[in-house]
Amino acid sequence: MTTAARSSQSRDEIVRKLFDLFRHRGFEGAALSDISEATGLGRSSLYHHFPGGKDEMVSAVADFAHRQIETNILAPLAGEGDLADRVEAMLATTREMYDCGREPCLVASLMVSPGLAPDSAGKVQAILKDWIAALAAALEQAGIPAAEAKRRATAAIIDIQGALLVARASSDTGVFSDAMETARKDLLAPA
């Protein structure tokens, strides 16, 4: 990539590249040299786009990830239609988002980083909190009592996130597929 092409990247394009980097390396594991390599930008260009440095980069990545979750998971869960269809859509998007258990979760990668700024940590935490809340709301709308809806929603996210870790650690994507099916059955069990 030429210097002119690199400098003409939009902040959104840079954030997408940073998303992949932080997703795979976490906060502490992504050195400035890694960030430069991933984005094709030098230190001065990076600080031009992110004057707050790495913390601002992570904050922008968390905002990007949250918007993706809102658009592709939370909005469909809040939509109209049968609960089973909305849950299936959520699970299909989740499979795609994590490449059937092959891709890491940004939240997990960042939350194990002790150097994450409190503002960024709060944004990252909000991703899963909002996912659980939207899932619980969809279950409640379908007639599941509030406490049970919250339990099921939380358990489903634990199943998904836990299986994602195990699938990647064991190189066995079947673990992820099985957990997705378990989550589906639990979420759609009769009230």
Answer yes or no: are the C-beta atoms of 187 and 121 closer than 8 Å: no
* Pair 138, 54: CB distance under 8 Å: no
Domain around 79 = 3-188
Measured CA to CA, the distance from residue 6 to residue 75 in angstroms comes to 34
Q: What is the mean pLDDT of residues 119-145?
A: 95
The reported pLDDT for the residue numbered 158 is 96
Query: Number of structural domains, the chain?
Result: 1
Query: Residue 113 in contact with residue 26, Cβ under 8 Å?
Result: yes
Q: What is the pLDDT averaged over residues 126-153?
A: 97
| Placement of tokens 């594991």 in the chain | 29
Which residues 6+ apart lie within 8 Å of 129 measured at CB?
A: none
Predicted pLDDT at 152? 98
CB 50 within 8 A of CB 96: no
Q: pLDDT tens digit string along 166-186?
A: 999 999 999 999 999 999 999
The CATH number covering residue 87 comes to: 1.10.357.10
Euclidean distance between the first and the last CA atom of the chain, given in angstroms as a whole number? 56
The CA distance from 189 to 184, in Å, is 8
At residue 4, does pLDDT exceed 60?
no
Distance CA 138, CA 148 (A): 12
Q: In whole numbers, what is the pLDDT of the chain averaged over residues?
A: 93
